[in-house]
Amino acid sequence: MDRAKLDELIKTFFVCDKRQITQIFDELLSAMAAEEMLPPSTVMSRNYETAQANPEIHTLPGNLKDARDSIFPYFWGTDGWYSKLHLENVKGPANYASLVGVLACLLKNPNLCVDTYSQRSNELELKAITALANLVFYHTESPWGVFTMGGTVSNLYGGKIGIEKVLPGAMRSGLQGRRIAGVVSEAAHYSNATLAGWLGIGTENLHCVPTDRAISMRLDLLADKLDELYRAETLVAFVIATFGGTDASGIDDVAAIREIINQKSAQYGQPAPQLHVDAAVGWALCFLTEYHLHNNPFGLNDDSLPLVAEVQRQTQKLHHADSVTIDFHKMGWGHYPSSAFIVNRRADLEHLFRPKEQVPYFSEADYRRDPALFTLECSRPAIGPYSVMASLNGLGLVGCQMLVANALEMAHALKQRLDRLDCCKVLNAETVGPGVVWWVLPKGRNAKEIFDRVERGEVPADEWRHYAAEIHRLFNKREAMLDPAIDARLSFTNSMGYRPHGVNLPAWKAVFFNPKTDYAVIDQIVASIEEL
């Protein structure tokens, strides 16, 4: 070994050169600041074949500027969603308090599996989980949980606990030939099908209950579905409620679902399913649980106060859940990945414990605190807790309330403006949340009358296909005509979650996640529709 060369390598990459690192980071920040002044970027050319054919690994050791140069074109070619015109989906800009937390995390690079690998970062995770649990469950005595790689994995944790509850020992012995089912709504996120497949119960055994006009699971049909499953001697492992759907902001009645699953499981002498709530998007509404409606400290307009009252009515039902998924990287405006799986009662995690014999190199692990003894992952980054605690304590509860209330006001304002146009029909007028889904039909058509006919089942299939094609054609026309400097970027969904008579309803979609989005953006959305 050439010791001199090795020492130079160590000095360059394993000794902190504060001046050079801060200079490079300053360059990246300058590029990002310039991007913030620009409208949403168009999708740059994607040269996947070239990327695969030319991986470009340097042969000889270089320096930190070589590292910068190798990634900068891709950094510049990635939109940070800082523009107020970004309304496409449930993604917004990360806040800079989160950036402070994430940078601190990356400097130490802890692994949250055991104290040995994470030290006080493990303690920070417990602190962050408890803070979020107190928000979501409102009053809870023994919460616990972990940060995961995303909402899909958090939902998977809830499903797995449910399997262990209804079929004890499945972790060790498998499903033993038993038919096991899960239940969600038709508006539930597709990740539920993913977890059904990965957990081995099969996507065919994931049952979707239709929703009502408010995009909320129909309780009568949930009861009927449970009757059907139990009579067929099927074990129902979990019911996953949606709290703030990705498309239309639908909210399932968590308290009523709890009552139904308890009553039906007792009636058939079966263990109660795990009631898991996928609140990846809607959890942030819990910031408004204690907003004082009478004093109205933010001066919310008269139209917004009923929205907050409805939010409070729904959030206070979350304490009926066994577990919940939250994505702080959505309406927490944190950095990816900041998803968390949280149980209302710590004892539920015992269903996931593995014996220490399976992890001999974690001989020091302690069941009271070390997640490696029950987590799916062994290596878990600490970005989540660092992002959460930096954001919550930087923005403060009042700051978070302001951001969420603003998102509700913006979404409601767009709904009101669209409702005045005969050619438009807002499809989620009865929901509260940051998302708006609607139809745009050609001028001269009455979209509201057509919707009423669809609900009554009076529109023949051929006629409906014509209307659906018009809705999509006009969306594409606006996309082709939009001025990137002033027109908001919207998205399109093929099915917004409400299916009257089994008809998938396509829709235009806007999600108010960016706090910079203002009424001028809404004015221009309406103007762009009127110009079609």
Query: What are the residues whose beta carbons fall under 8 Å from the beta carbon of 144, sequence distance 6 or more?
Result: 126, 129, 133, 342, 343, 346, 349
3-class DSSP state for residue 436? strand
Helix axes 519-530 and 461-481, enclosed angle (nearest 10):
120
Q: What is the CA radius of gyration of the chain?
A: 25
The CA distance from 273 to 257, in Å, is: 11
Mean pLDDT, all residues of the chain? 94
424, 440 in Cβ contact below 8 A?
yes
**Secondary structure of residue 414 in the 3-state scheme:** helix
Q: What are phi and psi of 156, to 5 degrees?
A: -60, -40
Q: Which of 131-145, 413-427, 461-475 shows the lowest per-residue confidence on average (mean pLDDT)?
A: 131-145
How much is the pLDDT for 113? 86
DSSP 462-492: HHHHHHHHHHHHHHHHHHHH--TTTS-B-EE
216 φ/ψ sector (left φ>0, alpha ψ -120 to 50, else beta):
beta
User: What is the DSSP track for 162-187?
Assistant: HHHHHSTTHHHHTTTT--EEEEEETT
More confident residue, 378 or 314: 314
Question: Residue 146's pLDDT is what?
Answer: 96
Residue pLDDT, tens place only, 293-341? 999 999 999 999 999 999 999 999 999 999 999 999 999 999 999 999 9
DSSP notation for 52-79: HH-----SS---HHHHHHHHHHHHHTS-
Q: What is the pLDDT of residue 325?
A: 98
pLDDT, tens digit, for every residue of 259-277? 999 999 999 999 999 999 9
Q: What is the mean pLDDT of residues 448-468?
A: 97
- Rounded to the nearest 5 percent, the helix, strand and coil shares of the chain are 50, 10, 40
* Spatial separation of the C-alpha atoms in residues 217 and 258, rounded to whole Å: 13
- Alpha-carbon distance of 314 to 318, in angstroms, equals 7
C-alpha 383/C-alpha 377 separation (Å) is 15
- Tokens for 345, please give them: 């009662």
Alpha-carbon distances, residue 150 vs 222, 234, 337, 490, 512 (angstroms): 27, 29, 6, 24, 21
C-alpha atoms less than 13 angstroms from C-alpha of 276 in its C-beta half-sphere:
35
The answer to whether residues 201 and 174 touch, using CB atoms and an 8 Å cutoff, is no
Which architecture characterizes domain 102-400 according to CATH? 3-Layer(aba) Sandwich (3.40)
Percentage with pLDDT > 70 across the chain = 99
Note the pLDDT of residue 47.
77
Q: How far is CA 311 from CA 251, 328, 428, 433, in A?
A: 10, 18, 15, 9
* pLDDT for res 198: 96
As a whole number of Å, the end-to-end CA separation of the chain is 71
Q: Is the pLDDT of residue 153 over 70?
A: yes
Task: Provide mean pLDDT across the span 215-222.
Answer: 98
- Looking at per-residue pLDDT, the higher value among 128 and 58 belongs to 128
Please give the average per-residue pLDDT across 480-506, as a whole number.
96
Cα within 13 Å of Cα(461), Cβ side = 1
Residue 44 is predicted with a pLDDT of 63
- Percent of the chain residues topping a pLDDT of 90: 83
Predicted pLDDT at 356: 74
Q: Which of 6-15, 159-168, 437-446 has the lowest mean pLDDT?
A: 6-15
Domain boundaries in the chain?
3-79, 102-400
Each residue's pLDDT tens digit, 499-519? 999 999 999 999 999 999 999
